[in-house]
Structure 1
Amino acid sequence: MRVLITGGAGYIGSTIASACLDAGIEPVILDSLVTGRRAFTEGRVFYEGEISDGPLIDRIFTENPDIEAVIHCAALIVVPDSVADPIGYYRANVAESLELVDHLIRNGCTRMIFSSSASIYRAGDDHTVTEESPLDPQSPYARTKAVCEGMFTDIAAGAPIRILSLRYFNPIGADPKMRTGLQLRRPSHALGKMIEAYEDGVPFRITGTGWPTADGTGIRDYIHVWDLATAHVAALERFDGLEADVINLGTGAGTTVRELVDAFNRVVDRPVEVVEAPARPGDVVGAYTRSDLAHRLLGWRARHSIEEGIRHSLEWATLRDSRLT
Structure 2
Amino acid sequence: MKKVLITGGAGYIGSTVASALLDQGITPVILDDLSKGRPEFVEGRVFYQGDIADAALLDRIFAEHPEIGATLHCAARIVVPESVGKPLFYYRENVAKTVDLLESLQRNGCTRVVFSSSASLYAPTPDGRVDETCPVEASSPYARTKQMMENVLQDWTRGEGAERIRVVVLRYFNPIGADPQLRTGLQDLSPTHALGKLIEAHADGTPFTVTGVDWATRDGSGIRDYIHVQDVAEAHAAALTRFDEVVRPADEDRFRVINIGTGEGTTVRELVAAFEQAVGATLDVREADPRPGDVLGCYAAVDNARELLGWSARRTIAEGVADALAWRTKWTARLASA
Q: What TM-score results when the alignment is normalised by the length of structure 1?
A: 0.98
Q: Distance in 1 between matches of 2:236 and 2:16?
A: 10
Is the counterpart of residue 6 in structure 1 residue 17 in structure 2? no
Matched residue, 1:277: 288
Q: Distance in 2 between matches of 1:202 and 1:71?
A: 38
Tell me by how many angstroms 1:71 deviates.
Answer: 0.3
Is the counterpart of residue 170 in structure 1 residue 181 in structure 2? no
* One-letter identity of the residue aligned with 1:65: P
Q: Is the 8 A contact 1:121 1:129 kept in 2?
A: yes
Matched residue, 1:316: 327
Matched residue, 1:236: 240
Tell me by how many angstroms 1:271 deviates.
Answer: 1.9
Deviates more, 1:234-243 or 1:87-96: 234-243
* One-letter identity of the residue aligned with 1:292: D
Matched residue, 1:30: 31
Q: Distance in 1 between matches of 2:332 and 2:66?
A: 36
- Structure 1 residue corresponding to 2:263, chosen from 252, 255, 265: 252
Matched residue, 1:202: 206
* One-letter identity of the residue aligned with 1:320: W
Tell me by how many angstroms 1:124 deviates.
Answer: 1.8
Matched residue, 2:251: none
* One-letter identity of the residue aligned with 2:11: G
Tell me by how many angstroms 1:273 deviates.
Answer: 2.0
Q: Distance in 2 between matches of 1:195 and 1:298?
A: 32
* C-alpha RMSD of matched pairs (Å): 0.9
* One-letter identity of the residue aligned with 2:170: L
* One-letter identity of the residue aligned with 1:48: Q
Q: Is the 8 A contact 1:39 1:323 kept in 2?
A: no
* One-letter identity of the residue aligned with 1:24: G
Task: Figure out how many residues of one structure are paired with residues of the other and give that number.
Answer: 325
Is the counterpart of residue 261 in structure 1 residue 265 in structure 2? no
Matched residue, 1:297: 308
Tell me by how many angstroms 1:241 deviates.
Answer: 1.3
Tell me by how many angstroms 1:150 deviates.
Answer: 0.7
Matched residue, 2:250: none
Q: Distance in 1 between matches of 2:90 and 2:329?
A: 31
Stretches of structure 2 lacking an aligned partner (at least 5 in a row): 248-254
* One-letter identity of the residue aligned with 1:232: H
Identity across matched positions, percent: 59
Q: Distance in 2 between matches of 1:237 and 1:204?
A: 40
Q: Distance in 2 between matches of 1:212 and 1:123?
A: 10
Q: Distance in 1 between matches of 2:190 and 2:207?
A: 15
* One-letter identity of the residue aligned with 2:198: M
Deviates more, 1:29-38 or 1:244-253: 244-253
- Secondary structure of 1:245's aligned partner: strand
Q: What TM-score results when the alignment is normalised by the length of structure 2?
A: 0.95
Q: Distance in 2 between matches of 1:89 and 1:198?
A: 32
Structure 1 segment 210-221 matched on structure 2, within 5 A: 210-221=214-225
- What's the CA shift string for 1:3-35, capped at 9, x where partnerless? 000000000000000000001111011000000
